[in-house]
C-alpha cells in the first residue's frame, strides 16, 4: 500500500490558501518518514493552472477534478470526488485545512469511508510503526491531546498558520492526473455567495492577512471597534480581537486571536488595549513585527512587542490613522505593503 500523504488544496478567487502550502510542507516531512511522497487533490472549476503552484510547494502529483459543477464548494460534490479519490489512491494520510470548508468536508468524507478524524491539529509526529501521533488542543484549549488513529488512511484537519511551508521551488513540476466528476453527485446548487455584512467588508480575512489590527478590553465597548476598522482600512489590514472583547459580545468570535481563537502569522500585528495573556500570545506571537499600544507600561504584551507605545489608545490610534494616511498618500499607495 502506498505510504503517501494526500493534501486537499483549498483556494479562493483563483489563489491557493496559505494553509495549503503549510499542509504540503508538513505532508512532505511526514511522507519522508513514511517512505512516500506528498500528493495534492485540487477540486474546482478552471483551477488547472494552480497545479504548477502546488508542485512548487512540494506536491509530487496533483489529482485534478476540474468541472463547472465544482465551481462553488458543495458538500455533496466535493465529498463524492474526494471519497472516490481516497479509495483509488490509497494514501496513508489525508490532510485538510481546519477552515470553514475543511471542517465541513473532512467529517463527511471520514463518515462515508468509515475513517477516524482528528480535527484542528497543530503538530504531527511519525511513530516507528508508521502511525501519526497527532497533537490537538481540546476542551477549549485547556488541555492538549495526543491522538493515534486506528483506521487507515489517517485523516486530520490542520489549524492554519501553525505549520511551516517549504520554500517554493519553481523548477519543481508534478504530473497532473484528471479525475472524473459525476454529475449525479450534486443535488444542491449554490446560487450566490453573499459577503458577511457589517464589519470587515472588503478587508482581508484574519487567517490570510499580512497586517492585523487587534483590539481588547481596553476598547471599552463595541462601538470603539470602528476606530480599529478605520486604521485597518488605511493599512489594508484585518481586524482581530482578544477573547475578552469577544466574550463581552463586542465582536464576533471569528475575529478572536489566541489559543481558542485563530492562530495568525502576519507581518505586522498591532495590539490595542490587549494585556498579553499567554492564551492571546499563543495565537499571535509568531507575527514578524508586533506593535503594542497599552496605557499600562507593565502590561505583559510589551515583553513580546518589537515596538511599544505606552499611552491611551483613544489618543494614539487617531494619530496613527492620520500619519499612515499621510505616509501612504506620499507614496502614492492607498494601502500599506509589507514583506516577510
Ligand atoms: C482556556 C482559556 C483559553 C483562552 N483563550 C483565549 C484566546 O484564544 N484569546 C484571548 O485573547 N484570550 C484567551 N483567553 C483569555 C485570556 O486569559 C485573557 O483573559 C484575555 O486575553 C484578556 O483580554 P484583554 O487583553 O483584552 O483584556 P485585559 O486582560 O483586561 O487587558 C486589557 C488591557 O487594556 C489596557 N487598556 C485599558 N484601557 C486602555 C486604553 N484606553 N488605552 C490603552 N490600553 C488600555 C489595560 O492596561 C490592559 O492591559 C483564554 C483563557 C482561558 C482560560
The finding on whether 271 has its CB within 6 A of some atom of ligand 1 is: no
Asked, for residue 193, whether it belongs to a domain, the answer is no
Kindly provide the b/e burial profile for residues 236-269, where b requires at least 16 CB atoms within 10 angstroms of the residue's own CB: bbbbbbbbbbbebebbeebbbbbbbbbbbbbbbb
| Residue 314 alpha carbon, nearest atom of ligand 1 | 41
Tens of pLDDT, residues 126-182? 999 889 999 998 886 778 999 999 999 999 999 998 899 999 999 999 999 999 888
Q: Which residue bears the cell 481596553?
A: 218
- Ligand 1: residue of 253, 275, 320 to mutate (most ligand atoms within 8 A of CB) is 275
Upper half-sphere CA count for residue 226 (Cβ side, 13 Å): 4
Residue 128 class from Cβ within 10 Å (0-12 exposed, 13-18 middle, 19+ buried)? exposed
pLDDT value at position 332? 53
Here the cell at position 259 is: 489559543
Asked, for residue 198, whether it belongs to a domain, the answer is no
- Asked whether the beta carbons of 40 and 7 are under 8 A apart, the reply is yes
Confidence tier at 339 by pLDDT (50, 70, 90): very low
Q: Would you say residue 118 has pLDDT above 90?
A: yes
| Residue 245 alpha carbon, nearest atom of ligand 1 | 26
Asked, for residue 173, whether it belongs to a domain, the answer is yes
The finding on whether 294 has its CB within 6 A of some atom of ligand 1 is: yes
Tens of pLDDT, residues 41-87? 999 999 999 999 999 999 999 999 999 989 999 899 999 999 999 99
Residue 54 sits in a domain whose CATH number is: 3.40.50.620
Asked, for residue 201, whether it belongs to a domain, the answer is no
Let me know whether 138 and 36 are in one domain.
yes
Q: Where are the beta strands (DSSP E) in 70-215?
A: 93-97, 117-121, 123-126, 132-138, 143-147, 154-158, 176-178, 211-215
Asked, for residue 196, whether it belongs to a domain, the answer is no
Let me know whether 168 and 268 are in one domain.
no
The domain tally of the chain equals: 2
Let me know whether 180 and 221 are in one domain.
no
Whole-model pTM above 0.85? no
Asked, for residue 205, whether it belongs to a domain, the answer is no
- Give strand pairing partners of 155: 94, 117
Let me know whether 129 and 68 are in one domain.
yes
Which of 135, 167, 185 represents a domain boundary (last residue)? 185
Structural domain boundaries enclosing 236? 211-330
Amino acid at each position: 500500500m502506498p505510504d503517501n500523504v494526500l493534501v486537499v488544496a483549498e483556494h479562493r478567487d483563483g489563489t491557493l490558501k496559505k494553509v495549503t502550502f503549510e499542509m504540503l510542507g508538513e505532508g512532505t516531512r511526514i511522507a519522508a518518514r513514511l517512505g512516500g511522497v506528498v500528493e495534492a487533490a485540487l477540486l474546482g472549476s478552471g483551477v488547472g493552472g494552480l497545479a504548477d503552484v502546488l508542485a512548487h510547494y512540494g506536491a509530487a502529483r496533483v489529482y485534478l477534478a476540474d468541472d463547472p459543477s465544482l465551481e462553488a464548494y458543495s458538500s455533496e460534490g466535493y465529498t463524492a470526488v474526494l471519497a472516490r479519490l481516497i479509495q483509488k489512491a490509497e494514501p496513508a494520510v489525508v490532510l485538510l485545512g481546519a477552515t470553514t470548508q475543511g471542517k465541513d468536508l473532512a467529517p463527511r468524507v471520514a463518515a462515508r469511508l468509515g475513517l477516524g478524524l482528528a480535527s484542528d491539529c497543530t503538530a504531527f509526529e511519525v511513530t516507528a510503526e508508521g502511525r501519526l501521533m497527532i497533537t490537538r488542543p481540546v476542551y477549549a484549549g485547556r488541555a492538549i491531546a495526543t491522538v493515534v488513529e486506528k483506521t487507515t488512511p489517517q485523516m486530520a484537519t490542520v489549524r492554519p498558520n501553525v505549520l511551516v511551508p517549504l520554500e517554493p521551488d519553481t523548477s519543481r513540476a508534478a504530473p497532473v492526473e484528471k479525475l472524473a466528476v459525476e454529475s449525479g453527485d450534486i443535488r444542491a446548487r449554490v446560487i450566490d455567495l453573499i459577503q458577511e455584512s457589517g464589519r470587515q467588508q472588503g478587508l482581508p480575512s484574519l487567517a490570510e492577512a499580512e497586517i492585523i489590527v487587534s483590539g481588547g478590553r481596553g476598547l471599552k465597548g463595541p462601538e470603539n471597534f470602528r476606530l480599529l476598522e478605520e486604521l485597518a482600512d488605511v493599512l489594508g489590514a484585518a481586524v482581530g480581537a482578544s477573547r475578552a472583547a469577544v466574550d463581552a459580545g463586542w465582536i464576533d468570535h471569528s475575529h478572536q486571536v489566541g489559543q481558542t481563537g485563530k492562530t495568525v502569522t502576519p507581518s505586522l500585528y498591532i495590539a490595542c488595549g490587549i494585556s498579553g495573556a499567554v492564551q492571546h500570545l499563543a495565537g499571535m506571537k509568531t507575527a514578524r513585527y508586533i506593535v503594542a499600544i497599552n496605557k499600562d507600561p507593565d502590561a505583559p504584551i510589551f515583553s513580546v512587542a518589537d515596538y511599544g507605545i505606552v499611552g491611551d489608545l483613544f489618543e494614539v490610534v487617531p494619530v496613527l490613522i492620520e500619519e499612515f494616511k499621510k505616509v501612504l498618500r506620499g507614496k502614492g499607495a492607498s494601502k500599506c505593503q509589507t514583506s516577510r
